[in-house]
Each structure stands twice: as structure tokens, then as C-alpha cells.
Chain A
Amino acid sequence: MKNSINLTELEKKAFKSFHEDGLWDIMIGLTLEIFMVIPLLLTETGLGDFWSSLVMLPLYVAIFWIIKTIRRKIVSPRVGLIRIGPIRRSKIQILHIIMIVLLVLGVIFAITALDLFGMMDKQAWFFPVFLSSLFLFLFAAAAFLLSCPRFLMYGIMMAFFIPAGEIMFRKSILMHHGFPAVFSTAALIIILTGMIKLVLFLKRYPKMATEDSDDIVRS
């Protein structure tokens, strides 16, 4: 007879109930869309790498603010609020550290690759391979630490798309190392997944009347 409560699974269930609204996916997808825009800016406006990225910063902030507002106004009134326990909190901190380290590594490598290989060097496979590995590792870490298996699928998708984009660039089918096509396709898939999850979430958790959702009845 197995009547014991699996608290690990219960914690995952509680955490996922609070976060399975698709907003992470929408935020990731919108952020990836920005990677599609930056290469286009390089040719259209003549802005350098640094200024192209700087111009995108307000967009990043806007996306973050929009997602936060949706969570506050739409999600929380339907599912409630939790404050996660210490184990999950430390997992999220580890994920933040991984993200920062990978970002720094990515910046260092990008600068080094520009000097060593040149962006237009057709023999430079290191950059797409490094970028694929970076995305795969990041999404795999997120899948494990956030108990969200579909993030691993996103990582595998990026790991295939980036080299595929590079191959099509070298065959002169795509421009900008295939970045616009690769990132916009991946972003579209991820955003659509997020939107489907959001719709399912809203159906699963209809809004309750405030008087029914809060306040203990004291006898």
C-alpha cells in the first residue's frame, strides 16, 4: 500500500501550478525576437554592435514590465500567490548564476571570435557551435531547475536551428548567418506554445469573485 505523500512531487505541482501560465515562454520568445531585429539594424541603420544592443534595452525592459503586469492583473487573481520554499529558491538562484556566467562567456567569446575569426569568415564554425551549446546548456539547466521539461525541447530546437541557419547562410540562402530566420522561427514556436498554455491556464482557472477567493470565514 503506497499511501505516503511524495512531497517532492507536491512541491513541483505547487510551483508549476503557479507558473504554468505560459508567460515564461512568451517572455523567452519575445526576447529571442529581439535577436532577429539586431542583425537587421546592423545593415539598415549602420549602427555598430554595441549601439544596436543598447537600442534594444528599453524593449527588454518593456517586455519584462508587460509580463509582470499580466501576472499581477490576470494570473495571480485566478491562481493565488505562493512564496516558494528554500530549496526551490536556491535552485532559482543557481539558474540566475548560470545565466550570468553564460552571458559573460557569450560576450567574451563574441568579442574574441570577432578578433580571431572575423564575422564574415566562412570557415568560422566555432561561433554557431558555441552559441548552440550555450542555448542548449541554458535551456537544459532551466528545465531541470524550474521542473519544466519543455525548456529542454526549446534548447534542443535552438541547438539544431542555429547550425541549420549557418548552413543556409553559407549556401547564400539566408543572410546574417541565418539569425533572423532562426531566431524568429524559434521565437514564434515558443510564443505560440506560451499563448496556448496561457489560454488553457485561463480556462482552467476562471476568475473567482473576490468575496469567494479570500478571507477566512471565522465561526
Chain B
Amino acid sequence: MTSSDRKKGSLQSMGEIDRVIHEPARLMIMAYLYVVESADFLFIIRQTGLTKGNLSSHLSKLEAAGYVNIHKEFVNKIPRTFLSLSKKGRDAFDEYQRQMKQFLEKLP
């Protein structure tokens, strides 16, 4: 296999990348949720700098893909929306990392 074939192969593998995660804002959200057990809506807004509407939109897509669990609970009598990665989400993020690492390693 020539180097151009290898390059073509690695570029084509990018087509298999999970596009739900691959969007920059959603990647940020997934990354933050990956490193903690759970975080509330406000924490993610603060860390990502996204607006409420923007974050809601991305969370809806992640929830629809089964990657994120969203639940409300009371903390000191105040309702809070908590976000956490599902098992499917963690596995998907691990796979995304593996694919990206593989792709980037093949680049010259």
C-alpha cells in the first residue's frame, strides 16, 4: 500500500466518525461530562460559554442519541437540572477518541 493509499484510507475513515460528538460544542459538552460523574446545567453553561438556548439544542441532540441523561432533582429545595453521560455515551466518546487519535497519528 502506497503512502497516498494510506492517506486516502485514513481520510475515508473520518467519514465514519460520530457526527453527533464531532460538532465542537457537543464535543466540549461530552468532554466535560466525561471527566465528572454529573454536572448541572449552570456548570456546563459556565464552562462551555454557550447560551442557554444553544446548550439546550445540543443537549437535545445528545439525549436523542442516547449519550446524555438529563434529570431534575432538588438541591437545598431548589430544582436543578443534572446532566450525565450514559454508558452508551461514555463508550461512544471512548470510540470517538480512539478514532481521532488513530486518524491524527496517520497524518504526516
- A interface residues, Cβ below 8 angstroms from B: 1, 3-5, 7, 10-11, 13-14, 17-18, 72, 76-77, 79-86, 205, 208, 212-219
Contact = CB atoms under 8 A, between A and B. Distances in A.
B21 to A, nearest CB: 11
Contact of A219 (B57, B75, B76, B104): B57
Contacts of A83: 36-39, 82
A80 B45 CA distance: 9
Contacts of A208: 42, 45
Contacts of A5: 27, 31, 97
Nearest to B57: A219
6 contacts: A3-B100, A4-B97, A11-B35, A14-B35, A14-B47, A81-B40
Contacts of A76: 75
B31 A216 contact: no
A85 B37 contact: yes
A11 B36 CA distance: 7
B8 interface: no
Given A72-B76, A81-B80, A83-B36, A216 B43 contact: no
B1 interface: no
Nearest to A205: B46
List 9 A-B pairs, minimum CB-CB distance, nearest first: A80-B43, A80-B42, A11-B35, A217-B56, A83-B37, A213-B42, A81-B40, A82-B39, A216-B56
B60 A216 contact: yes
Given A17-B46, A218-B56, A80 B104 contact: no
Interface string B48-84: 0000110111011000000000100001100111100
B60 A7 contact: no
A80 B38 contact: no
A80 B31 contact: no
B36 to A, nearest CB: 5
